[in-house]
Amino acid sequence: MNPFDYFKFRYYEKWLGGISAYFIANGYITQAELDARTKAFLASSPTMPTGGDSAVDARVRKYLLIGDDPKRPRSAPPRFASGDAVCVANPKSVDHTRLPGHLRNKTGIIDSVYPDAYTYLCDTGPDGIGEAMPVYCVRFDPEALWPGNTEKNFTFYADLFEAYLEPAIAS
Amino acid sequence: MQRFEYSKDRETANAARARALEALLIEKGVITSDTVDKIMAIFATEMGPFNGAKLVAKAWVDPAFKQLLAEDTMAAVEKMNFVTKGAGAEGEHMRAAINTPEVHNLIICTLCSCYPWPVLGLPPYWYKDPSFRARAPESTQRIRPEHRPLQGDQNLGQ
């Protein structure tokens, strides 16, 4: 997504744009059809078409009620334990990531290790996630993240995939 | 600056585009004429903040439940009579953060669309706005008062 558009559009505008782009890219509808129909709905309130296979509704309901569980058994023991000092990696930026930019190259402490392992919705390539791996709750001193620019007396926690963490080098 | 300008009719235009997309998808047989209404009904009556409110209220009056909610959130959720049981889209693995008079928690999502749909429903748009996401991690004083964690005598917990 164009970074300017990312900041311009509100959350649900992004949903609408993303869903529309998916159906256009995969050949279900065309941009011209969508534009023309949008004009029609702006000009009046056309009657909605009817019909469809109710099995679709059942599948949608099933998804919402059950979800899509990303938890998997671990293939190896977790690399870190509670109390370990870790340094956050700085991998190449890609479209999808679960690494907040403000944590890159920062040092934190493993607060807890979540049970089992977790997949991500896609393989993020050089970013490093996708396959099931341990996830950690990492504790940061906000003063180390934003020196001289934070409130006092609070702690910042982030849930991070193992691929984003390296052992902190003792100084 | 032009790149960030909003059209004055953004709400109307987006509503028309959403309706147009729905109509086209019904015609193509991708969804049915009931699909969107059924999803709206689920979020209005089965997956939403009314579930989260029940969890919190039960924790107020049942110390053992409160402890379970803190230690094994999904086990506590499974004890509720929610239609999603211990599952539900975007809420497959939730972890409750318990406020105390001394410690207040602000849960933020700085990257994507994570939000506990089964107990809080769909997020308000401001929760996903870049300005909120950028300010909230650094300082609760830089976000609007109604978006801040509870302060001092506002504490409703027991």
Long-range contacts of B34-41 (CB under 8 A, 24+ apart): B34/A52, B34/A54, B34/A57, B35/A52, B35/A56, B35/A57, B35/A60, B38/A57, B38/A60, B38/A61, B39/A60, B39/A64
Cβ <8 Å between A98 and B112: yes
Domains and CATH numbers, chain A: 3-50 (no CATH), 72-167 (2.30.30.50)
pLDDT at residue B158, rounded to an integer: 32
Question: In the CATH hierarchy, which top-level class contains the domain B48-158?
Answer: alpha beta
Chain A closest-CA separation from residue B20 CA (Å): 5
Q: Quote the mean pLDDT of chain A.
A: 94
Chain B closest-CA separation from residue A170 CA (Å): 26
pLDDT in tens, A40-53: 999 998 999 999 99
Q: Which residues from chain A sit within 8 angstroms of residue B94, using beta carbons?
A: none
Closest C-alpha among B132, B59, B93, B52 to residue A10: B132
Closest C-alpha among A49, A10, A156 to residue B35: A49
Residues 141-170, chain A, touching B (beta carbon < 8 A):
142, 145-146, 149-151, 154, 156
The residues, ordered by sequence, that sit 6+ positions from B115 with a Cβ below 8 Å of its Cβ are: B90, B109, B122, B123, B127
Q: Quote the mean pLDDT of chain B.
A: 88
- Kindly provide the ipTM of the predicted complex, given to two decimals: 0.88
pLDDT in tens, B122-157: 999 888 888 888 888 887 777 777 777 655 444 443
What percentage of chain A reaches a pLDDT higher than 90?
85
Cβ <8 Å between B87 and A4: no
Across B23-28, average pLDDT: 98
Higher pLDDT, B113 or B15: B15
Query: Is A26 at the interface with chain B, CB within 8 A?
Result: no
pLDDT in tens, A64-114: 999 999 999 999 999 999 999 999 999 998 888 999 999 999 999 999 999
Cβ <8 Å between B29 and A142: no
Query: Is A55 at the interface with chain B, CB within 8 A?
Result: no
Q: Which helix (H) or strand (E) holds A61?
A: helix A54-66
Write the single-letter amino acid at B19. R
Chain A closest-CA separation from residue B85 CA (Å): 8
The residues, ordered by sequence, that sit 6+ positions from B13 with a Cβ below 8 Å of its Cβ are: A38, A42, B7
What are the residue boundaries of the structural domains of chain B, listed by start? 9-45, 48-158
**Active site amino acids of B:** 109, 112-114
